[in-house]
Amino acid sequence: MFVMPIARSYALNGQPRELSRAFDRLLDDTVDRVFGHVVPSAATRLPAVDVRETEQAYTVHVDLPGVAKEDVKVTIDGKRVSVEAAAREEIRAEAERVLVRERSAVAYARSFALPVELDEGASQAKLDNGVLTLVLAKKVKPASQLTIG
């Protein structure tokens, strides 16, 4: 078995260098060609996620390139948030012959837990330019009353 360690080097602006990106694409393409019969046509990928917090809510940004808003499903269950999405495969005319195909249908799935319960009714979602923005409102705990005895 051959194991090759991959260390990503970053340019000054924090972005991976072009060589690293090219290597990633080459590796992905090779795996797809070798195991193409095993991997379904819409392979599930883990989208990149950023999470920020304020006192009232969490703001989550999820990268979902090529996905229409009607193909996104967000589920909130207590502290757990799940995002599922699928980019549809382009329909081509019968007369067309594909010469190069580097893009394919893809499905995205991501699930994570946050530290506090979420208020599903007060939360919002917006998909703009391939980025899903979730504003997940924190559940407000009712003030507990103490009985003095």
Q: Could you write out the DSSP letters of every residue in 62-102?
A: EE-TT--GGGEEEEEETTEEEEEEEEPPPP--TT---S---
- 61 falls within a domain: yes
Does the pTM surpass 0.75? The reply is: no
- 146 falls within a domain: no
Residue of 103 and 28 predicted with greater confidence:
103
Find which of 25-39, 96-110, 128-142 is predicted with most confidence, using mean pLDDT: 128-142
- 46 falls within a domain: yes
CATH code where residue 85 lies: 2.60.40.790
* Closest residue by Cα to residue 60 from 14, 127, 11: 127
3-state percent breakdown (helix, strand, coil) of the chain, nearest 5: 15, 40, 45
Q: Which residues lie below 8 Å from residue 109, measured CB to CB, with a gap of 6+?
A: 44, 45, 46, 82, 83, 84, 85
- 18 falls within a domain: no
pLDDT tens figures, 29-43 = 555 555 543 444 457
70: containing domain: 42-89+104-138
pLDDT tens figures, 55-101 = 999 999 999 998 999 999 999 999 999 999 998 777 777 788 888 87
